[in-house]
Amino acid sequence: MPEHVPPAHDREHDPAPRQHGPAARLHGPAARQDGPAHPEPVIRVVDLVRDYPRPRTSLVRPAPVVHALRGVSLEVKHGERFGIVGESGCGKSTLLRIVAALDRATSGHVFVEGTDITNLPERRLRPLRENLQLVFQDPMSSLDPRMRVRDIIAEPLVVQGHPASGQRVRELLEAVGLSADAGDRYPHQFSGGQRQRISIARALAPRPRILIADEPVSALDVSVRAQVLNLISDLVDDLDLTLVFVSHDLSVVKHVCDRVAVMNAGQIVETGYTADVYAAPQHPYTQRLVSAIPTLQRALSGATTSDLLANGDPA
Ligand SMILES: Nc1ncnc2c1ncn2[C@@H]1O[C@H](COP(=O)(O)OP(=O)(O)OP(=O)(O)O)[C@@H](O)[C@H]1O
Ligand SMILES: [Mg+2]
């Protein structure tokens, strides 16, 4: 049975002082200072459009176009855990890639910490590349199998021209629940869950302020999904990160995120506090999703949004 993941709204209202884990010591001199108000949204997306041209198949007809994003707007505030949920192909990863400046928009704008990054040249994206880190679905394909884990974790620091001490790598390994000697081994010597922990350690290495996780537990064995979700949740709290979390598993988003945007066919159809959206969904598409929501336990067993909608079985 999967480990219990406390719902985001329970944590929010929990008056108990937070117990900081090993991640707390990852705060270093370069970490964010306390105090300032954060009037500016951390991420602001304005009317984002992304069309992908398809290869031309006819001499007379124009080349077909996939409208991956059709005018997406959203705001993510400082310290928020913002979920994006929707069926396969609705544009979730496209949106994340453009926010992380790994892809360019056809039109629209993305502001990160107040800076319009939409058309910034690569050399001016360096601060963004440090501040905003990503964790992907499949840790095996995102970790270089020829590199030792300590070098994988240190790589983002080295690339950005920072010193990467053994001490720092050990701290990161400890923060994600791996032993210090894990640094000597290669990715294939770990389980899927451990590899995702390595990906998370690597993402945290440059002390990002924003963590973007694209289906971070979907490829993992059922037995470890809850543990990795808990780890992400704890790290976001301990390190005061802003989290953007994509999943097609509604109940996973419900348990991790404070606010959620529901996407369908390249558009956001509804945004709100997660508890409100689930208690009283406004848009018909969200109502369908919510009526098909599985228990966390069932979502962790691998049922996808599409499976649930197809079966229409909320049990
Ligand atoms: N590089 C690309 N070239 C052409 N089409 C693309 C490209 N990337 C995405 N698409 C198309 O854009 C649409 C949105 O894809 P995207 O990967 O963003 O969906 P998603 O919501 O992340 O789906 P999933 O849940 O399966 O990961 C899909 O129709 C996809 O085929
Ligand atoms: Mg995707």
Q: What is the pLDDT of residue 289?
A: 87
- How many domains does the chain divide into? 1
**Above 90 in pLDDT, residue 305?**
no
Q: 256: which 2 tokens?
A: 């991790």
> Residue 152 is part of a domain; what is its CATH number?
3.40.50.300
Asked if 195 and 183 touch (Cβ cutoff 8 Å), the reply is no
SS (H, E, C) the chain: CCCCCCCHHHHHHCCCCCCCCHHHHHCCCCCCCCCCCCCCCCEEEEEEEEEEECCCCCCCCCCCEEEEEEEEEEEECCCCEEEEECCCCCCHHHHHHHHCCCCCCCEEEEEECCEECCCCCHHHHHHHHHHEEEECCCHHHHCCCCCCHHHHHHHHHHHCCCCCCHHHHHHHHHHCCCCHHHHHCCHHHCCHHHHHHHHHHHHHCCCCCEEEEECCCCCCCHHHHHHHHHHHHHHHHHCCCEEEEEECCHHHHHHHCCEEEEEECCEEEEEEEHHHHHHCCCCHHHHHHHHCCCCHHHHHCCCCHHHHHHHCCCC
Residue 76 domain flag: yes
Q: Which residue range is the domain that position 143 belongs to? A: 40-53+62-311
Over residues 27-48, mean pLDDT: 71
Strand partners, 83: 245, 260
Q: Whose CA is nearest to atom 14 of ligand 1?
A: 91
Position 5 in a domain:
no
Residue among 66, 248, 263 whose CB has most ligand 1 atoms within 8 A, to mutate: 66
Q: What is the pLDDT of residue 249?
A: 81
Residue 192 lies in a domain: yes
Highest mean pLDDT among 2-6, 12-16, 228-232: 228-232
Q: Answer whether residue 307 is part of any domain.
A: yes
Tokens (6 digits) for 116: 């319009």
Asked if the model's pLDDT at residue 302 lies above 90, the reply is no
Q: Is residue 15 part of a domain?
A: no
| Assigned domain for 96 exists | yes
Residues 47-72 have a mean pLDDT of 90
Q: What is the C-alpha to C-alpha distance for residues 144 and 152, in angstroms, rounded to an integer?
A: 7
Q: Is residue 25 part of a domain?
A: no
| Ligand 2 centroid to residue 224 C-alpha, Å | 21
Of the residues 56, 65, 92, 304, which should be mutated to test ligand 1's pocket, given the most ligand atoms within 8 Å of the CB? 92
Band of the pLDDT at 227, cuts 50, 70, 90?
very high
- pLDDT at residue 209 in the model: 96
Q: What are the pLDDT digits (tens) for 229-248?
A: 999 999 999 999 999 999 98
Give the number of the atom of ligand 1 that is nearest the alpha carbon of residue 53: 4
Mean pLDDT over the full length of the chain = 85
Instruction: Specify the pLDDT at position 309.
Output: 57
In a domain, 3, yes or no: no
Could you tell me which residue, 53 or 28, shows the higher pLDDT? 53
Strand-strand pairing, 107-112 and 43-53: antiparallel
